[in-house]
Chains A and B, each alone.
Chain A
Amino acid sequence: MTFLAQVELIKPPEIEYSAIAPVLIVLGAACVSVLFEAFLPKHQRWAAQVVLTMLTFIGAGTALGLYAGAETTTAQGITTLSGAVAVDRPVIFLWVTLLLLGFGSILLIADRSVEPGGAFVADAAVRPGTVQDRAQATRTGMQTEVFPLTLFALAGMMVFVAANDLLTMFIALEVLSLPLYLMCGLARRRRLLSQEAAVKYFLLGAFASAFFLYGLALLYGYAGSVKLADIATATAGSDKSDTLLFAGFGLLVVGLLFKASVGPFHAWTPDVYQGAPTPITAFMAACTKVAAFGGILRVLTVAFERTNWEWRGVLWGVAVASMVIGAVLGLTQTDVKRMVAYSSVAHAGFLLIGSISLTEQGLSGTLFYLLAYGFTTIAVFGVISLVRNADGEATHLSQWAGLAKRSPVLAGVFTFLLLALAGIPLTSGFVGKFVVFAAAIQDGLAPLVVVALVASAVAAFFYLRVIVLMYFSEPAPDGPTVTVPGAFTTIAITVGAAVTLVLGVWPSFALDWAGAGGFIF
């Protein structure tokens, strides 16, 4: 032991366990969930996984509630793990949002009533199109690996929005992306499309990660550190090479914009949204968007606020491109999932407007928008999963003709959700757009807001087209049927639509909450 005595005592970094408990709970549950997959017999897995996942959300939510509620001395937030992770007001808002939306997605994922056995393949190893594949399509089992994958992805998202240095952010990015690549390929039906979506998402995602990483490396070269705070300090009047700074910033932002599916880095979005199993699409569309914009907000605000004069114009152009691409290309889509994908590209443009108006209003507006958009999106995909024919989901728009006559309730809910996406008053979409645009105008982005309003008007057309199609067309004789959903999907759709309404009528509490404080670094 003399050997040990000679060693200088080291001081481990302080860890604020109560603050990061929600992430730890989700990650730990993900590991337990993997063990379930390894050791439980197949027929018990679904029930066990569902129970575990529910408990995880309850536990993480409780931990988060306790921390946020008990917070007194650290009211505006802390950094922990040697400053690698920050837990401040926006992060708590984003964590709550992610947990709520993740819970909604899990409900859709776990549902086995809409599609007998669930939306996921029973045995992913079986080749599509073979006899075994047709047999497994009718089996009631599913690859319950989707649960641990979801939990890992969710944990990655939670770390991503809290990451206070670029390396942590990169790791979190991979932790959230890798499970999603796999989940995209797990659809029970149309497996060719599903696998194709997985390949495309994976290759493009890896490509984008490389950009992010190269940006990280250049910024490391510029600032000598990858901590956001250090980069911010370095940008304050140093004699270092601005080429490194802006090349690094550009590459980093490209990686982030890819995840947020902002045009022109959106190319994967329609294909993957269409090919992936609908519950996974809901998860991606809601949670990934939240995580990506959470990261963008933090990076832009914390690290690059001082240089905003140089980059703001560029992101201005990106936002315009995204809104125009989303709105114009959405016009001629014939598949409802692809249409929602283009709508999400347009929404990404709107969100980017809020993100580049670097004010408190911009921050709180964007956070509110994310919450509102996430709930609406989950409900939208929940509804889409209900319209089915013998081949599975009937996503072609022509099959939606006259749906209001078959199922007035479903058509009514979907109409309401589409109006929310279009930003009609009394829906959360209107309030979200309003606060974001108001913040942008205050910060001198009025021309951008004009473009955004025009894009909203164009985009409203394709939402209304679906409404017209549902209400004013004759239903086709061999059209799809509307499945009566089980409890899980019903809850997800109901809650999504209800939140859309509540945030549209009484948004003040959520707005206050979103505006409770800024980033800590």
Chain B
Amino acid sequence: MTPTYYLLLSALLFSLGAVGVLVRRNAIVVFMCVELMLNAVNLTLVTFSRMHGELDGQVMGFFVMVVAAAEVVVGLTIIMSIFRTRRSASVDDSNLLKY
């Protein structure tokens, strides 16, 4: 099976995540879309790792997961605090800073 399919799939997932960031309003969902993009990258890394016949890419996948986890911690904190303030998780409600 040619690795191109894996790469195309990961590119598709990455694009889906990017589009999701643009179209979804809920901050949590937006954030999950970012996570989707990161996982698409993981798929790419693992595919290339297999192609090159080494483990570096797969190890990098673990790094990405750790970073993503840390990002979740920080992100959820921030989203939580603004949710408590505004009683809304919609990113469109945070619209005071503009122009």
Chain A residues with CB under 8 Å of chain B are: 124-125, 127-129, 167, 170-171, 174, 178, 181-182, 185, 191-193, 195-200, 202-203, 206-207, 209-210, 213-214, 216-218, 220-221, 224-226, 270-271, 274-275
How far is the CB of B73 from the nearest CB of chain A, in Å? 8
How far is the CB of A410 from the nearest CB of chain B, in Å? 26
Contact across chains for A193 and B91 when beta carbons are under 8 A apart: no
Contact across chains for A210 and B37 when beta carbons are under 8 A apart: yes
Contact across chains for B91 and A203 when beta carbons are under 8 A apart: yes
A200 to B60, CA, bound (A): 27
Can you identify 30 A-B contacts, CB atoms within 8 angstroms?
A129-B85, A167-B63, A178-B70, A178-B71, A181-B75, A181-B78, A185-B81, A193-B96, A195-B78, A196-B82, A197-B97, A200-B94, A202-B75, A203-B30, A203-B31, A203-B34, A206-B34, A207-B37, A210-B14, A213-B41, A214-B14, A214-B37, A217-B41, A217-B48, A220-B60, A221-B7, A221-B51, A224-B54, A226-B60, A271-B97
Instruction: Collect the chain A residues with CB atoms within 8 Å of residue B38's CB.
Output: 209-210, 213
Contact across chains for B27 and A199 when beta carbons are under 8 A apart: yes
10 more A-B contacts (CB under 8 A) besides A127-B85, A218-B44, A221-B44?
Answer: A128-B85, A167-B60, A192-B85, A192-B86, A199-B79, A199-B91, A202-B74, A203-B21, A207-B37, A221-B48
Instruction: Collect the chain B residues with CB atoms within 8 Å of residue A216's CB.
Output: 41, 60
B11-48 residues with Cβ-Cβ distance < 8 A to A are 14, 17-18, 21, 27, 30-31, 34, 37-38, 40-41, 44-45, 47-48
Instruction: Collect the chain A residues with CB atoms within 8 Å of residue B17's CB.
Output: 210
How far is the CB of A345 from the nearest CB of chain B, in Å? 15
Instruction: Collect the chain A residues with CB atoms within 8 Å of residue B27's CB.
Output: 199, 203
Contact across chains for B44 and A195 when beta carbons are under 8 A apart: no
A209 to B64, CA, bound (A): 11
Question: How many residues of chain B are within 8 Å of chain A by beta carbon?
Answer: 44
Residue of A124, A200, A214 ringed by the most chain B CB atoms within 10 A: A214
A208 to B7, CA, bound (A): 20
A409 to B30, CA, bound (A): 48
How far is the CB of A190 from the nearest CB of chain B, in Å? 9
Instruction: Collect the chain A residues with CB atoms within 8 Å of residue B47's CB.
Output: 221
Instruction: Collect the chain B residues with CB atoms within 8 Å of residue A224's CB.
Output: 48, 52, 54
Contact across chains for B67 and A195 when beta carbons are under 8 A apart: no
Instruction: Collect the chain A residues with CB atoms within 8 Å of residue B98's CB.
Output: 271
Contact across chains for B82 and A171 when beta carbons are under 8 A apart: no
Instruction: Collect the chain A residues with CB atoms within 8 Å of residue B94's CB.
Output: 195-196, 199-200
Residue of A182, A193, A221, A225 ringed by the most chain B CB atoms within 10 A: A221
A205 to B79, CA, bound (A): 14
Instruction: Collect the chain A residues with CB atoms within 8 Å of residue B60's CB.
Output: 167, 216-217, 220, 226
**Nearest-neighbor residue (CB-CB) of B3 within chain A:** A221
A129 to B86, CA, bound (A): 10
How far is the CB of A222 from the nearest CB of chain B, in Å? 9
A332 to B75, CA, bound (A): 33
A181 to B27, CA, bound (A): 15
Instruction: Collect the chain B residues with CB atoms within 8 Å of residue A171's CB.
Output: 63, 67
Contact across chains for B74 and A196 when beta carbons are under 8 A apart: no
Contact across chains for B96 and A174 when beta carbons are under 8 A apart: no
A199 to B86, CA, bound (A): 13
Q: A174-B70, A206-B71, A213-B38 are in contact. Are A220 and B79 (CB under 8 A)?
A: no
**Nearest-neighbor residue (CB-CB) of B84 within chain A:** A127
How far is the CB of A385 from the nearest CB of chain B, in Å? 18
Contact across chains for A214 and B40 when beta carbons are under 8 A apart: yes
A128 to B84, CA, bound (A): 9
Instruction: Collect the chain B residues with CB atoms within 8 Å of residue A191's CB.
Output: 85
Residue of A127, A170, A210, A214 ringed by the most chain B CB atoms within 10 A: A210
Contact across chains for B41 and A214 when beta carbons are under 8 A apart: yes
Residue of A192, A202, A216, A226 ringed by the most chain B CB atoms within 10 A: A202
Instruction: Collect the chain B residues with CB atoms within 8 Å of residue A210's CB.
Output: 14, 17-18, 34, 37-38, 41
